[in-house]
Amino acid sequence: MARRGAARCAVTGIVAGSLGLLAGCSGPKPYVRPGFLEHPPRRVAVLPFAITYPYDLEAEQAIPPSHEVGRDVLRKTFYYALTPYGYEDLELSEVDEGLAAAWGPLDAGGWRAAEPQALGKALGADALVYGEISRLMHFTTPLYTETSLQASLRMVEAGSGEVLWRQRVRVAERGGALMKKGQVVDFLKDQARSFNPGLKFLRISDAAVRHLLKGFPNPPLAAGSSAPPASGARTVRLAVLPLEAKRAAWAAPAVSLREHLVASLQESAFQVLELQQIDAALKARGWTEGQPLPEALPLGEVARELGADAWLRGAVTKWGRTYLVVQSWVTTGMALELVDAGSGEVIWSAEQTNRRQAGILKGPTGYKSLVTAPLTGLRGSHLDRIAIHLSRVLASELAAAPAVLAYVSDVEQGKSSLASAPQTP
């Protein structure tokens, strides 16, 4: 299991209950090669992450399944969060298939001995992201729960093998009765979540990736770049438009929520277009970043330029904190519409609000937690978490809606019929 002598993360701030002690230790600032943005890589492959902890295992004994879950969840979460950046991202399945074709089964690890130049050539990538996880733990009892990881990620230039970017992260979520101070509702939720390693690792991976991507270089999308070719049956091209902020102070959250939506839609039936590509087309027709889309903006013309079949548009309807001494809330809300780019028909719409409360309504376990819980419940990390959760919920509802499934099927059939029709000389 975890290295006995490993240093524990220092928990800053006030303990926020018997769970939710999300202790992300912000290590050193990221290393970025000088001049990175002058000649950034174009195509990036996120390689399978490796667990480097030296397990003391018997012959033919496998590492704990929960650790494999944590490893894979961190890789997926990082990849999805990277998709809005100005790179052409190779899909994880494409990366895995390319590695397996050249070096055999991934679990055998033959590809790990390959030089970056060979990996880049096999995958058609300019840069490679390596992830090494040196510590993983998923431990659960009524008295104490902990899900934690420690990892180091680096981006390497495929041609030279030179490190372009590097960052380390440690993050943990701890709970249980031994944490003493807290709220009954949080304790019960933590106990229920602890039986699902995937959910627990997703929670801490969200926090880890937020830290990893602070200061991560985001170059302008290279001229002539486009969304990567659709894999499998994903031929319906979706453009996620800038979200309208109902209040001026919500402009920055609108940008973040849009990025969360793009990340959450990566496993949907849509081929999601690059945000920078969309924004460049909008700016060329009079849109100013941070402002609402002009009423007269020719979206049909933009759709033809991008090759978009559908728009996802919407607004941030709620965002903020409420404090009432013994109770507090953080709240975020979105309204979304899926619109056919050709006809302007609304295919699907939804509006939801997500809220996290802290204080007397969640059953404080003592006078101290009655005072402190409403204060710690206002943390920005809680607001970020419910924003990500809301994005995932709405993306899941969109992907599973019968009207959307029927629309995707119709568009795919139309494209298939067009492609198979005889061409006139």
Q: What is the 3-state secondary structure (H, E, C) of 285-339?
A: CCCCCCCCCCCCCCHHHHHHHHCCCEEEEEEEEEEEEEECCCEEEEEEEEEEEEE
Reported confidence tier of residue 13, pLDDT bands at 50, 70, 90: very low
Judge if 254 and 321 occupy the same domain. yes
- Residue 124 located in a structural domain: yes
Judge if 151 and 271 occupy the same domain. no
Judge if 180 and 315 occupy the same domain. no
Q: Please tell me the predicted confidence (pLDDT) of residue 339.
A: 96
How many residues in the chain? Answer: 425
Higher pLDDT, 241 or 9: 241
Q: Please tell me the predicted confidence (pLDDT) of residue 404.
A: 95
Higher pLDDT, 294 or 165: 165
- Residue 10 located in a structural domain: no
Judge if 252 and 151 occupy the same domain. no
The residue-averaged pLDDT of 165-189 equals 72
- Residue 397 located in a structural domain: yes
- Residue 353 located in a structural domain: yes
Cα 192 to chain center, whole Å?
23
Domain boundary among 212, 227, 254: 212
* Alpha-helix runs per DSSP H in 335-401: 367-376, 380-400
- Report which DSSP code applies to 248: G
Q: Please tell me the predicted confidence (pLDDT) of residue 186.
A: 62
Judge if 249 and 105 occupy the same domain. no
**Separation of alpha carbons 358 and 366, rounded Å:** 14
Query: How many structural domains does the chain have?
Result: 2
DSSP string, 223-238: TT--PPPPPTT--EEE
Judge if 193 and 262 occupy the same domain. no
Residue pLDDT, tens place only, 186-197? 656 666 667 788
- Residue 316 located in a structural domain: yes
Judge if 242 and 377 occupy the same domain. yes
- Residue 80 located in a structural domain: yes
Q: Please tell me the predicted confidence (pLDDT) of residue 41.
A: 96
Contacts of 135 (CB under 8 A, 6+ apart): 2, 3, 6, 53, 148, 149, 150, 170
Reported confidence tier of residue 78, pLDDT bands at 50, 70, 90: very high
Domain boundary among 212, 227, 262: 212
**Separation of alpha carbons 227 and 238, rounded Å:** 10
The per-residue b/e assignment along 108-140, b for 16 or more CB within 10 angstroms, e otherwise, is eeebeeeebeebbebbebbbbbbbebbbbbbeb
State the average pLDDT for the chain.
83
Q: Is the pLDDT score of 418 beyond 80?
A: no
79 and 46 Cβ atoms separated by less than 8 Å: yes
Q: List the CATH number of the domain containing 298.
A: 3.40.50.10610
262 and 84 Cβ atoms separated by less than 8 Å: yes
When mean pLDDT is compared across 62-76, 143-157, 321-335, the lowest value belongs to 321-335
**Range of 295's domain?**
236-416
C-alpha to C-alpha distances, 20 to 84, 207, 356, 369, 377, nearest whole angstrom: 28, 12, 12, 14, 10
Judge if 32 and 117 occupy the same domain. yes
Long-range contacts of 405-410 (CB under 8 A, 24+ apart): 405/269, 407/236, 407/310, 407/338, 407/340, 407/347, 407/348, 408/236, 408/269, 408/270
When mean pLDDT is compared across 69-73, 156-160, 275-279, 353-357, the lowest value belongs to 353-357
Judge if 208 and 293 occupy the same domain. no
Reported confidence tier of residue 154, pLDDT bands at 50, 70, 90: very high
Residue pLDDT, tens place only, 344-381? 999 999 999 998 876 655 555 554 565 566 666 667 77
Residue pLDDT, tens place only, 217-256? 999 876 455 544 444 456 899 999 999 998 989 999 999 9
Q: Which two tokens stand for residue 337?
A: 């519409």
Higher pLDDT, 412 or 313: 313
Higher pLDDT, 126 or 417: 126
**Alpha-carbon dihedral 371, 376, 377, 381, rounded to 10 degrees:** 180
Q: Please tell me the predicted confidence (pLDDT) of residue 56.
A: 67
Judge if 272 and 138 occupy the same domain. no
338 and 308 Cβ atoms separated by less than 8 Å: no
Q: Please tell me the predicted confidence (pLDDT) of residue 2.
A: 36
Judge if 42 and 191 occupy the same domain. yes
Q: Is the pLDDT score of 120 beyond 50?
A: yes
- Residue 231 located in a structural domain: no
Q: Enumerate the β-bridge partners of residue 255.
A: none
**Separation of alpha carbons 373 and 252, rounded Å:** 27
Judge if 327 and 250 occupy the same domain. yes
Q: Please tell me the predicted confidence (pLDDT) of residue 191.
A: 64
- Residue 228 located in a structural domain: no
Reported confidence tier of residue 38, pLDDT bands at 50, 70, 90: very high
